[in-house]
Chain A
Amino acid sequence: MIFALLGVASVSHYLVVGAILFSCGVVCMAVKRNALGVLMGIELVLNGANLNFVAFGSNYLAADGRSPLGLDGEVVALFVILLAAAEAAVALAITLNFYNNHATVDVDRADDLHG
């Protein structure tokens, strides 16, 4: 089965890799107690999604072998990377502040907003 998959690289293969990356990110977000770990999970989720964009923007999907604009998926992926960088900056600032206030970066301790 592995070999069958390895036969010819297609969009599906990229999607599978994207899904694995996404799942790894989600699991990382869900199980890491360290806030930095959670941030890393978020990066993984975003990159998984990016991979999907790039895959869907590839020429493989064009009917006549050409995509309408050619670079749609890549452009959106670039946006996502940009946003991820901004998000990481904000998130790291929050984390630092949290650390200053609580002397820890354990997200389980960050339950001040509980009902």
Chain B
Amino acid sequence: MGRAGTIARRTFMVGSVAVMSGVAFGYYMYRKPGPNPLLDDLKEGEAALTPYVLINASGITLITPRADSGQGAYSVQAMMIAEELDVDMDQVSVSPGVPSPAYYNTALAAESAPFRPTDRSTMANTTRGVMDAVMKFMGMQLTGGSTTVPDGYEKLRMAGAVARETLKLAAGKRTGQDPKKMTTERAHVILPDGTRIAYTDLAVEAAQIEPVDHLALRHHSKWRIMGTPQQRLDIVAKSTGTQRYGIDFEPEGVVHATVRTNPRKGGVMNGFDATNAKAMRGVKQVLPITGGVAVVADNTWRAFAAAEAIDIDWGAAPYQPEMDAHWQALSDSFNDDHLDSRKRDDGDVDAAFEGTTEVVEAEYRAPYLAHAPLEPSNATVLVDDDRVDVWSGTQVPRFVQANLAKLTGINVDNIHVHVQMMGGSFGQRLEDDVERQATEIAMQMKGTPVKLTYRREEDMTHDHPRQIAMARGRGVVKDGKVHALDLGIAMPSVMSSQMGRQGWSVPGPDLQIVAGAWEQPLSIPNYRVSGYRAPELAPVSSWRSVGASTNGFFHDVFLDELIHAAGADPMEERLRLMWHKPSRQVLEAVAEMSDWATKPGEGRGRGVAFCTSFGVPVAEVIDVTATPDGIRIDNVWVAAEVGRVIDPVNFENLVQGGVIFALGHAINCEITYADGMAEQDNFYAFEGLRMRQAPVIEVRGLENDIHVRGMGEPMVPPAAAALSNAIFAATGQRIREMPMNRHIDFV
């Protein structure tokens, strides 16, 4: 946490404030959707000061409130501030700051608005603005939805610019010289005669000055840091074992705990016998918690071993205990009673099927998937009479704060969340079971810091997985073209399940049910996408790319089937149908990168897929070889339109990782339930891709669109579709279900 942890909430009320003999800069953020909201129509009363730059005599700290689960969020946020502040990356430290409404996520709200990302109409933009205000009201400081860059792109740069200009004013006041004639570089103000004054030396004086507001941001052609590869701030620590994660945090006097809760998630515990466990070496306590039991010991392994030695009588699952019933519930949802949205209904779909005998029909399935970040769930909590401290890698510090206040009865202002580096997340750390459970234990051991670590088996079987989903497509081709595409998608509502656990209802349609399908920029003459809301089954949660993780597969594989039926070329027909220019350009890019026109040789197959999700159009081409030992994935070419690539090296790494993540799960991962319990409890049953299976991946980021987008998630949805389409090209076998190893072997 460092110095930033001491910023008091009241400091958000004023322009720039002295903080521990230093200064915290913010800027005024206004509700005004559009390309340059900061320059026009500034209103009073809408202000939320957002301090991102903290300077005192000992140094400069940049506040990077979006959590880092490995995507390089801290570095990329720091780059955006540093660009305008005129500091270099080796001169700053970063801190995630404290949970505060000031750090609400603008871009997440925009993404929640029910408009296609390609829709730039007044109505769409106004609605995005209203959502923005709602989010501000709720103070949703959330990391997710690939929003870190779009959310920070203007406000973090502006925070840097405001601080820079205010420091120049302070230098002017001190020297009597004209700030307009000063420049800045490497954390110094340079006077006209070349004299350099360090920012750290000006901090206290700057704190007395009303900060500058109307500022123009620098054109990207003038950038020094953004757009250029930077050494990630955490790269040395992560290459030397010196990076500390939540699981490594150990305050003085810490005790080690683990829990077992009902593997039929949400079910009760009828009773337990811990006689054997209590007699084991190092065991301090065995304590009941909601739905289960905790063991506290002097060593994590001793806690694990004792937990496994407890006999527990579990209650029934509060959902269908067997898998067949889950699939049946989805299958039974394709009807008007369950219709949740039909926001794509172009042409006259019903008429297109009339009198046609040759209807192409197909059904697709996608399984539950665990998040399984490599760092198992953990949290350290210290409860005192009137204060709670929590150290954990969380994407939702404000939720944690609110929930622990409710749980302990302690005022929310006295719940201190210290966000830790995460060893992966993929959406898992949007849930806060582990923080709640650690607090339940710590409430029974006041004054003692309790570190709760899940066994891998607890983590995998108690994960709130990706939704299960099913799709049914009907289509017609005519004159060698796709003439009608009618896709229905059924799944339980992820948003309803996830937000329900936070005590919130989600009114209206859940657009995640059709995300990655309904908003595709295709001009098919008769084109319909219907979302069907299945009843709640096992609890589910956001998994990297959420609805699009299943729907990108369904939509594009079905499109590929229609293109095949039409006898058209998969690339040419997609290009013909794609009306949105930046989307066409990503397809053209992968066609060129893969040399699409030259077909791969005997026994090989090439597939293309396209999906726009989170506003990012992505095209992927995959080459496979059908070997005697199974399918080998040879090459992947990816092109993505992100508006602006902030760090080219981190971009390439995240894109490659997103593709590998998607392919591994598509090939061999699923969570299935038997007797209400997840059947996969460790990586031998949930493997993902190993290095020997990893293809060569070539990446290109395009910068044709005006909107800057995040890219943590959008690489995932097209990958499984491109793989399925490539396998069809190589073997003639159409894979319509994940994991694909249910139907075909892989090397």
Do A and B actually bind? no
Interface residues of A (CB under 8 A from B): none
Interface residues of B (CB under 8 A from A): none
